[in-house]
Structure 1
Amino acid sequence: MIPQPQFDPSHYEQQYLDLMRHIWSAGDERVDRTGVGTRAMFGATMRFDLSDNAIPLLTTKRVYWKTAAREMLWFLTGDTNIRELVKQKVHIWTDWPLDKYRRATGEDIDRDSFEQKIIEDPEFAEQWGDLGPVYGKQWVDWPVYEPAGNGLYHKAETGINQIALLVEGIRSNPGSRRHIFTGWNVAELDRMALPPCHKTYQFYVANGKLSALLQQRSCDLALGVPFNVFSAALLTRMVAQQCDLEPGELIWNGGDVHLYLNHEALVEEQLARTPSGAPTLHLLRKPESVFAYEIKDFEVRDYSPQAHIPAPVAV
């Protein structure tokens, strides 16, 4: 039986818990790429108010928001190697290159030892730490091909910076319906360690406020979505500040929204908890560009979540 705790239906987190409860109770049981198996539904929406510095951090378990913020800053650099992440003790992308290394070499190396080699040996990092052209590469350096003569083309040295174009577009033409960037580059999906889950972002300006809509194709509701929602809200706040706009709303659209079958303990524990509190996110300065933020520029206040709930990542 799924617990039914007392709850405040107006709390922003309740929609997340209701979605989790519905999927665990009535979702379709499906075989998935990882072999773990899921309960899932197709198509879901959540809306989060970002005004007055509100930030949609879960309170029924701790979300390590600094990890998510560091990942977002890393995306904006266009880097695709885990080395800079693991230097900052961010481990969320390590499982994919680690699994590739183990399969290729047969060495049963543990994560800490693998990450230490990534940090200490640049050549090892170059060979084994790269994820392929994932998120940030597509966001800030989407590949462009130029004519090379005789019907041939070559790759241009500089690709399209979708984020820079987004900011400029919002500043110069706020009413446009083309404030979009995406990581879903069909030609390069097979070179990515993981095709983008949070794949397309669209922005909307009205009444001096910037709102964002995130379309996420694959949604690990227990582990990934809490990070994705916070990260999208953070990026919206950054872009809004750069465009001299107030934050409006974040709309999250999920495609395949699922809970892994081995997350039963997490689901039942989290659904037994009651959300509370109203954390806020504060940007402590306005850098010269959206690419110049640092982790010290972000401060979350009034965040007192309940304890972290561990669960395995399906790779």
Structure 2
Amino acid sequence: MSLADNIFIAMCKDILENGVSTEGEKVRPKWEDGSYAYTIKKFGVVNRYDLSKEFPAMTLRRTALKSCVDELLWIWQKKSNNINDLNSHIWDSWADENGSIGKAYGYQFSIKHKYKEGEMDQVDRVIYDLKNNPYSRRIITNLYVHQDLHEMNLYPCAYSMTFNVTKNKENDKLVLNGILNQRSNDILAANNWNVCQYAVLIHMLAQICDFEVGELIHVIADAHIYDRHIPIIRELIERPTYEAPTFWMNPEIKDFYQFKPEDFELRNYQHGPKVEHIPVAV
């Protein structure tokens, strides 16, 4: 069993056994048939993944790494808010007739801000500080910009990264760690997807800065399982598990903006069958 499987199974059992139902309460999401999408939820779930030991792709079912990376690059590298720059259709429900999702996600990363070192957007500021001020306690991104929320077609779910550099005492190499803050997480549809994305991000930034990878800490304010996902989750967490796959990233890439989805692979990835026809609440 991989660490990611172990964490996922324990989290799901905790939510199902100890979570609180929103049934009958005022909720925003609805199913395609118009009925309200209720959840069982836990507040303040914190999961830790040691990226130096294994890549956190679950094996209960396959996590599509290249699609994960494509969305990550759409936000962090292309800094786009238009689904026409994305190869998958996961954002189609939130896009307007021109393909825009409003002033959300990549749009916020495209904005330059004034610093004493000059004008930079948030991504370039992270890279600058990791290379020039690695022990800074201020290496943070934020997508939850209140003044623009009314122009976002979906409020950011994964809204903040905090980066922190430590040192490997055995070889004196700098180690990159990150905290992903998420206001809301659909455990079946998005949990391992988000974990894999931000694990990849830490690997990318570590490589371009000549750091080692350390921990990814995933902090979820509202960790929930939708009512129609409960039987799927119950079946999923009873499946056989396998050893974690081997993560490969093109070692030749030293510029954050040169990475492409094909520069990443999960090798020796054994996993369970695909979960078909997951209903999505919008």
Partner of 2:111: 141
Does the 8 Å contact 1:78/1:141 carry over to 2? no
Deviations 1:45-80 (A, max 9, x none): 11111115x211111111111111101111121111
Give the corresponding residue for 1:74. 74
- Whether 2:144 is the aligned partner of 1:184: answer yes
Alignment of 1:33-44 (within 5 A): 33-34=28-29, 35-44=36-45
Which residue of structure 2 lines up, in the alignment, with residue 84 of structure 1? 85
What's 1:216 paired with?
Answer: 182
- Give the helix-richer structure, 1 or 2: 1
Paired position in structure 1 for 2:46: 45
TM-score of the two chains, using structure 1 as the length reference: 0.79
Report Cα offsets for 1:11-38 as digits up to 9, x if no partner: 3421211111111222111143112100
The alignment of Structure 1 onto Structure 2 pairs a total of residues equal to 262
TM-fit CA distance, 1:167:
0.9
Residue identity in the other structure for 2:51: L
Once residues 111 and 248 of structure 2 are traced to their aligned partners in structure 1, the CA distance between those partners, rounded to angstroms, is: 29
Larger radius of gyration: 1
Q: Quick one: which of 249, 273, 277 aligns to 2:239?
A: 273
Taking the aligned partners of 1:135 and 1:286, their CA distance within structure 2 comes to 28
1:151-230 equivalent positions in 2, closer than 5 A? 160-207=120-167, 208-230=174-196
**Corresponding residue number in structure 2 for 1:24:** 16
CA contact (8 A) 2:253 2:259 kept: yes
Q: Confirm or deny that 1:252 pairs with 2:218.
A: yes
| Counterpart amino acid of residue 307 in structure 1 | P
> Equivalents in 1 of 2:252, 2:128: separation in Å?
16
- Amino acid of the residue matched to residue 104 of structure 2? V
Q: How does 1:42-121 map to 2 (within 5 A)?
A: 42-51=43-52, 54-75=54-75, 76-85=77-86, 88=87, 90-97=88-95
Any idea what SS the aligned residue of 2:17 has? helix
Q: Distance in 1 between matches of 2:181 and 2:63?
A: 21
Deviation of 1:247 (Å): 0.6
The Cα shift of 1:288 comes to 4.5
Cα separation, 2, equivalents of 1:188 and 1:142: 15
Distance 2:51 2:265 in 1: 15
CA contact (8 A) 1:16 1:46 kept: no
- Per-residue deviation at 1:143? 6.9
Letter in 2 for 1:170: L
SS of alignment partner, residue 210 of structure 1: strand
The one-letter code of the counterpart of 1:253 is: V
TM-score, with structure 2 as normaliser? 0.88
Identity %: 31
CA–CA distance in 2 between the matches of 1:272 and 1:201? 32
Say yes or no: does 1:314 pair with 2:281: yes
Give SS of 1:141's match: coil
Deviation at 1:234, TM superposition (A): 0.4
Gaps of 5+ in 1: 1-7, 101-126, 145-158
Given that 2:3 and 2:56 are in contact with CA atoms closer than 8 Å, whether structure 1 keeps it comes out as: no
